[in-house]
Amino acid sequence: MNRSKILLALSATAVINTSSAMAAGLSLSQIGTADSVATAGVAGVTNNSDAAATITNAAGLSGIEDSNMMLGGQLLDVRSHFEPEEGESTRSSGLQFIPHLSYAKRLNEDWVAGIALHSPGGLGVAYSNGIAGGAQNIIKENKITMLSLTASAAYQVNEQLALGASIITNYAGVEASVFDRTVTGKQLAPTFALSAQYQLSEKTRIGANYQHGSEHDIEFDEAILGIQGMAINWPATFDIGIDHQLTEKLNIMANAKWQSWSDYDANYQDTYSAGIAAGYQAGDWLWQAGFSIDSSPVDAEYRDVVLPLDKQWRLGIGAEKTLASGAKLGIAYQYQNLGDAEIASQGRELLRPSGEYSENRVHFITLSYQF
């Protein structure tokens, strides 16, 4: 088999498994907290109430009065079913638990610092009939582990404006079963984020966060057909949002996001997303719901089975209970539709068989606890 095809399979496999947990290639807005899952990722960029802002918008840490610790975890159930126009279909499935740990502490009147460990993606997927079905059984199973360690600081410039910055270390570990052989590799890569929040009025707050892209040059523990490793370019992200207190009990949120997926490949294009969410305070319970949608980074004529990215949408709902101690316990669910990911190939290409995905979705169930 052509070596470039194998390299593509391995490289894209690493990405697709992250992508399955990362909204099929777009950055994972679900960070293991009830708030992020219930609002479909909309609330993150304007969050100024807990330590999870360390990840989504460091400037939001300025809203913490003393200290806050957030513990969370989410279970992902990913399933897809590819049906080619000719030949046999194949299914992929996987379960993954993704943890969240963040802590923030006010240092003085102007400064707040935070640190967080979470997984921006990662999943083990097994294919029922190979990655493309039938004779095109190149990859049977694969796994990627992603961890991010984030250190952030927020500075209160004045009563309205807060600025934030983050230093991020990303860990990527890859394991793939190719031609009945298993290859593994791992690597650390640094990146950074810059953010701001501005209080337009007593009831309205806006936030913005830019996270720079990162590069992973992963070396395998053994070569396959002379291939020693792979490089993964993660796109940069810019997120902007607004939070408005409509009534004493009801607040509404909206956000828009851009990602530089054109940096990944010449045939890819930048993606755009938008979302809306709402929160309703009913006594000790905060009820939340949200909806967001993403554009596709690649058209059908360039799409393949190892990276079948498409437009997608997500819908979340959840609730958070304030306990007598002042701690908060949250639970949330989200459904994410990854699109039909149609592949329109010219002829019978190995990794680009014409067809589409009749099932392509993720279920998220999340629990979080903060104090």
Domain spans in the chain, listed from the N-terminal domain onward: 3-370
Q: Count of H helices and E strands in the chain?
A: 3, 17
Q: Report the SS3 class of residue 327.
A: coil
pTM, to two decimals: 0.84
For residue 63, give both structure tokens.
Answer: 């809203």
- H-helix or E-strand spanning residue 89: none
Closest CA to 234 of 209, 266, 261: 261
* Rounded CA separation 24/292 (Å): 14
Fold topology of 3-370: Porin (2.40.160)
* Rounded CA separation 281/304 (Å): 45
**pLDDT reported for residue 12:** 41
The predicted model gives 243-253 an average pLDDT of: 98
* Rounded CA separation 191/172 (Å): 13
The predicted model gives 323-346 an average pLDDT of: 90
Torsion of CA 263, 314, 321, 164, to 10 degrees: 20
Q: Name which of 164-178, 233-247, 275-289, 321-335 the model is least confident about.
A: 164-178
Residue 131 has pLDDT above 60, yes or no: no
* Rounded CA separation 286/283 (Å): 8
What's the mean per-residue pLDDT of the chain?
Answer: 84
Higher pLDDT, 283 or 187: 283
